[in-house]
Structure 1
């Protein structure tokens, strides 16, 4: 996923860049970041806090595909190959470099989303563990995860999108956020 400022675009509006990436406008708003103590699979020391976005932003509608990565980076590091599969086996540094190169190519500032932006976009106005509700069994319609993926990635955008039109927010491959991971 990549993000950049929406500059006043209407929520729900999408644009497509020259490498075929669709980006959706996420509206300004406030949400509770983090999981309540009662949420399944929550991290033990996770706390909740209110986060407000005073302006909207854009985020990729799908995970970055291998075809898109190849067009920007000139190589494909993925183990499982396929143009419409998400790029995988990339480091945080490689993801950040992708954003820099994409910014140069598009003449717009692309970057990794913050953790708050990613969670806000994932929840899409919902207040439950998953945008499909509280029931983990409902995840089958929304994403690929350990229970239904047969331990492999799948083509992007094949499951039900969240209310803001984003796909694979609950599965397929993991996404990097702007905060560099601890060494």
Structure 2
């Protein structure tokens, strides 16, 4: 078997595995006639570290949600997932490679004016990701709220009135968290199968 054929077979296998992972880790939703995929749980520290090569979270744990991450770092994480995906055509990857920011810069403060180029690249990727098929991206505010509501039109999943007993079933917050984060997916999912 030639190297090219071996490489193609390997890419197909990796692509198949990524699709299987997507089926287990992501949920497909439709809002206003537009389909989008969203992760069932927050990104874990182990997932973030495997892609970005650092973890600045205060509350450590492989299955804990990554925290202390800026919007820019989250967008760069999405860019790297897109570059590693076997489902995204090379032509699209070429369009976004110019938006890549080195992990060393990502792990430092984004408020420093020396990072102006990194900010521009990150914002450019975020805009591109919405229009290019298959790109990983952060959900829009509307998509996030739609996903969180789980098909309800009430203020909370269980109704319009605050109910700590019900809230304890679905998420961590100040009164039940003990002041720390917890492993993802420990609470009940909403009607769309999304956790925490």
- Structure having the higher strand fraction is 1
Query: Equivalent residue for 1:47?
Result: none
Distance 1:128 1:153, change over 3 A: same
Please state if 1:72 is matched with 2:51: yes
CA positional deviation for 1:93: 0.8
Please state if 1:89 is matched with 2:68: yes
Under a length normalisation based on structure 1, what TM-score does the superposition of the two structures give?
A: 0.66
Q: 4+ residue stretches of structure 1 with deviation over 2 A?
A: 132-136
CA positional deviation for 1:75: 1.2
Please state if 1:129 is matched with 2:129: no
CA positional deviation for 1:21: 7.4
Alpha-carbon distance in structure 2 between the residues aligned to 1:136 and 1:98: 35
Query: Equivalent residue for 1:16?
Result: 21
Indicate if the aligned counterparts of 1:21 and 1:60 stay in contact, CA closer than 8 A.
no
Structure 1 range deviating more: 132-141 or 118-127: 132-141
What residue ranges of structure 2 are gaps of 5+ in the alignment?
Answer: 1-18, 89-133
Please state if 1:146 is matched with 2:168: no
Q: What is the CA RMSD across the aligned residues, in angstroms?
A: 1.8
Decide which structure has the larger Cα Rg and report it: 2
Alpha-carbon distance in structure 2 between the residues aligned to 1:64 and 1:73: 12
Query: Equivalent residue for 1:155?
Result: 183
- Structure 2 residue matching 1:93: 3-state secondary structure: helix
Please state if 1:26 is matched with 2:29: yes
What residue ranges of structure 1 are gaps of 5+ in the alignment?
Answer: 1-13, 29-52, 169-183
* Equivalent residue pairs, number: 129
